[in-house]
Amino acid sequence: MAKIVTLGELMLRLSPQGNDRFIQSESFRIIPGGGEANVAISVANYGHEAYFVSKLPKHEIGQIAVNAMRRYGVDTRFIARGGDRVGLYYAETGASMRPSKVIYDRAHSAIAEATPSDFDFDAIMEGAQWFHWSGITPAISDKAAELTRLACEAAKRHGVTVSVDLNFRKKLWTSEKAISIMRPLMKYVDVCIGNEEDAELCLGFKPDADVEGGQTDAAGYEGIFKQMMKEFGFKYVVSTLRESYSATFNGWKALIYDGKEFYQSKRYEINPIIDRVGGGDSFSGGLIHGLLTKKTQGEALEFAVAASALKHTINGDFNLVTAEEVEALAGGSANGRVQR
């Protein structure tokens, strides 16, 4: 299996029990998670050699985060230790017409203040097949944006395939700032993953599709995929297509383009959603595994969509499924019958 590296922030998520609101809660569950950490967990579960790169404080709260990665088989040797705090976020799980809500408390976290001297990116990328990052990492701070660039440069020196999940977060930066930072980083990227909003807000592209109205017709994406590939030279452009009927009922499919053909996955109806946080990360993890192990882009995409559909049924940020479970769903077993 492949050596896969991800770079980003590992946070602790504080959540009320079940569907309780923040203001009625007297205790919160601690749930570790973060975009690229979630991807590392996914590919480790599929049998790959997964490495997560970050910085966390030396104290016990930092150790909670490190131990969470180790528990599921992710190699933590490249996590620098130091800094003052672990990033936190509070997540309230919505239901029906009440949306889920996230409040960040992540300013001045260890990775936001990290410097290039904390990491030897050439050593980290040595022997790697794949490097994955998301738009959340350069959004954390200017220092983190610089680390992202240095990691991408090292990946290219070592012949590593680079994927990005554009992952725009309006609570972290503006679209103007995102475009100024993200567009120059695209020259390092082979596989670009993002939905219609990400492509517009991070790169300045807008698809011809009414997403708010639930019109996620793949035809609206073909033009923008071709434009993005022409401008940035991606090998693959990929988008998830989420139809949000309520906080607990979504339609879910995806589209991939390799410069020759478009492939649209089958569509899943996810109802009820247990926890959609990490849904996009589980898609990225599935896509990386699929592109590394499958014969066609279509098979890779079907694996990714099935993996992320399953994630919506699991509490927490991490997609705790095996490749066999994903293959069973991708192969058509969606009835949820007890396996005896």
Does any domain span residue 335? Answer: no
Q: How far is 19 from 56, CA to CA, in rounded Å?
A: 30
> Over 90: is that where the pLDDT of 333 sits?
no
> Over 60: is that where the pLDDT of 79 sits?
yes
Q: Domain range spanning residue 83?
A: 3-330
Does any domain span residue 164? Answer: yes
> Over 60: is that where the pLDDT of 66 sits?
yes
Residues 96-140 have pLDDT tens digits of 899 989 999 999 999 999 999 999 999 999 999 999 999 999 999
| Average pLDDT taken over every residue of the chain | 92
Does any domain span residue 249? Answer: yes
Residues 251-268 have pLDDT tens digits of 999 999 999 999 999 999
Does any domain span residue 26? Answer: yes
Backbone angles phi, psi at 46, to 5 degrees: -90, 5
CA-wise closest residue to 34 among 244, 321, 322, 316: 316
Lowest mean pLDDT among 81-90, 254-263, 298-307, 327-336: 327-336
In this prediction, residue 211 has a pLDDT band, given cuts at 50, 70 and 90, of: very low
Q: How far is 132 from 165, CA to CA, in rounded Å?
A: 8
CATH number at residue 140: 3.40.1190.20
Does any domain span residue 215? Answer: yes
- The answer to whether the beta carbons of residues 311 and 278 sit under 8 Å apart is yes
Residues 220-238 have pLDDT tens digits of 788 889 889 999 999 999 9
Does any domain span residue 321? Answer: yes
Q: How far is 121 from 157, CA to CA, in rounded Å?
A: 10
User: Once rounded to an integer, what is the mean pLDDT over residues 231-252?
Assistant: 93
- The answer to whether the beta carbons of residues 280 and 240 sit under 8 Å apart is yes
Q: Give this prediction's pTM.
A: 0.93
Number of domains the chain is built from: 1
Does any domain span residue 336? Answer: no
Does any domain span residue 338? Answer: no
CA-wise closest residue to 129 among 35, 36, 1: 1
